[in-house]
Amino acid sequence: MPRDLTFTCIDIGGGTDGTWRDLAQAAWPGWADALVDGALEPAGQAASLAMFDEHMPELIGVRDRLAAEIDRPGAAAVLTHTGLRSPFSGCSQAAVDGALVRNYDFSADMCDRQITRSDLLRPVIGMGDVPCGMLDGMNDAGLAVSLTFGGRPVHGPGFTVLLVTRYLLETCSTVDEAWERVRRLPIATAQNLTFVDRERSAAVFLGPDREPLRLDDACVTNHQDLPVSAEQEAESATQLRLATLLAARDSAGDGEGAVDAAITALLTPPLYQTHDWGTLYTAAYRPRLGRVDYHWPGDRLTQSFEHFTTGAVTVGRG
C-alpha cells in the first residue's frame, strides 16, 4: 500500500458537459475487462437492460444519456451494472449522532479515488466508482448511504451494490424510502448498507441468497446475522472491528464529541489498516449540514453542496 494517495475531486454535473465523457472513455478498457462472460452478447445486453428497466425505471433516462456520451458498443448495458464482477472489500461504518462515519478498505490500485459531485436527477456528493457507481455519498435531501461487504462470497443475478448506492441517493430522501426501495432490488453479492438522514438511521443486510433485514442499530463491519467462523475472523477481524467501533461510539455520549470519537477510532488500529488492502479513506457525512469530511492521519478534506472544490489532492496515509 503506497504511503501517499491521490484523490481527484470532479463535478460531472448532468453528465453532458464533456467531463463524464472524458472520464468514461478513459476508463472504458478497465470496465470492459470487469464484465462477466457474455455480458456484451446480444442476449446478455437484452437481459441487463430488461432488469434495469424493471427495477430502476427512474434512471432509464440517465443511463441512456450517459451511454450516448460514452459512445461505445454496449455502453447502456455496461451502465446497468448487471454484468460487472463485484469485488469484495473490508469496511467499517456507523451512524453517530446524525452523521455517517466509515472506513473504506480496499486495494488502492483497484479504486478510482474520485470524489464526485453530480446532478443527474438531483445533487449528490460522494466517492464515485466504476461506471457511475458510488461507494458512499449523500444527497441534497439529507440522506447519506454507505456500503460494506457482507462477509459471504456468494454471487447471484442482480445489481452491484455500487449502482444500488447511486440509485438510492438519486431517488430517495429518507431512510424509510431507501429501505422500501432497496428491499425489492435484486443484488449480486452479500452487502451491508448504512442509511442516515436528518432524523434517523438504519443498517440493512442484503444478499442474493437471503431476505433483506433492517437493523435500527446502524453499526456494521463485514458480517451479517450469521455466525462468524474462526477463519473469517482471523482474516478480516470483523467482530473485533465492530466491537471497537461500537465502544468508541457509545462511550462518548451524544453530539459532536461522539462523532469525533468515532473518527479517532476509525483512524486508529484495529479499525485503520495499512496492509495492501488497507484503509484508503475515512469519511464523515453530515446530512443535516450537507457536508462531508474525508480524513487521513494528518490530513482532512471538506466538501459540501455549498462549496465543492475540484482538482487533485494528495494525502498521506500515516
Q: Using CA atoms in the order 282, 180, 215, 88, what is the torsion angle rounded to 10 degrees? A: -50
CB-based contacts of 279, cutoff 8 Å, min separation 6: 103, 104, 105, 266, 271, 272, 273, 317
Neighbour tally for 314: CB within 10 Å: 9
> Residue ranges of the domains in the chain?
15-78, 90-316
At residue 86, the 3 state secondary structure works out as: coil
Predicted local confidence at residue 2, as pLDDT = 65
pLDDT tens, residue by residue, 271-318 = 999 888 899 999 999 999 999 999 999 899 999 999 999 999 999 876
Question: In terms of C-beta density within 10 A (0-12 exposed, 13-18 middle, 19 or more buried), how is residue 180 classed?
Answer: exposed
CB-based contacts of 164, cutoff 8 Å, min separation 6: 147, 182, 185, 187, 191, 193
Q: What is the mean pLDDT of each run of 10 residues along the chain (318 residues)?
A: 87 96 89 82 94 98 96 92 79 96 93 96 96 95 97 93 97 98 97 97 97 96 94 95 94 82 96 90 97 96 98 89
278 within 8 A of 105, measured Cβ to Cβ? yes
Please give the Cα distance from 37 to 314 (Å, whole number): 36
8 within 8 A of 314, measured Cβ to Cβ? no
Residue 176: CA atoms inside 13 Å, Cβ hemisphere, count?
Answer: 3
The model's pTM is 0.96
The 10 Å CB-count burial string (b at 16+, else e) for 10-37 is bebeebeeebbbebbeeebeebeebbee
Which segments of the chain does DSSP mark as H helices, in order?
19-33, 42-55, 60-70, 75-78, 161-171, 175-182, 230-236, 238-251, 256-266
CA distances from 116 to 16, 107, 246 (A): 15, 19, 29
Sheet holding 299-304, edge to edge: 219-220, 90-96, 99-105, 279-286, 291-296, 299-304
Return left, alpha or beta for 263; rule: phi > 0 is left, psi -120 to 50 is alpha, else beta: alpha
250 within 8 A of 218, measured Cβ to Cβ? no
pLDDT tens, residue by residue, 199-237 = 999 999 999 999 999 999 999 999 999 899 999 999 999
Enclosing H/E stretch for 2: none
Nine-digit cell string for 140:
441534497
Q: Which fold has domain 90-316?
A: Penicillin V Acylase; Chain A (3.60.60)
CB-based contacts of 127, cutoff 8 Å, min separation 6: 104, 113, 114, 115, 116, 134, 135, 136, 137, 281, 283
Q: Cell 467531463 identifies what position?
A: 19
